[in-house]
């Protein structure tokens, strides 16, 4: 299991050394983060409260 995790980490680290792939990884991470925030009920309530206050 640890070997698999290490290989995945090294692969992502190798890709992240290239500027173009770094931008792609950043965009993918931002997209996945936004989707995760929408799916988690607790964060959705916080966002709705902030919007209601405005």
Distance CA 21, CA 29 (A): 12
Give the ranges where the chain is alpha helix by DSSP (H). Answer: 2-16, 19-39, 41-53
Determine the pLDDT at residue 27. 92
Closest CA to 24 of 36, 11, 33, 15: 15
Is 43's pLDDT higher than 80? no
**pTM for this predicted structure:** 0.52
Average pLDDT over residues 46-54: 83
Determine the pLDDT at residue 21. 79
- Tens digit of pLDDT for each residue in 2-34? 888 888 888 877 766 788 877 888 899 999 988
Determine the pLDDT at residue 28. 92
């Amino acid at each position: 299991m640890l070997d698999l995790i290490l290989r995945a980490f090294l692969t992502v680290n190798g890709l992240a050394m290239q500027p173009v792939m770094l931008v792609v990884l950043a965009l993918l991470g931002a997209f996945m983060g936004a989707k995760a925030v929408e799916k988690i009920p607790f964060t959705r309530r916080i966002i709705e409260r902030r919007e209601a206050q405005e």
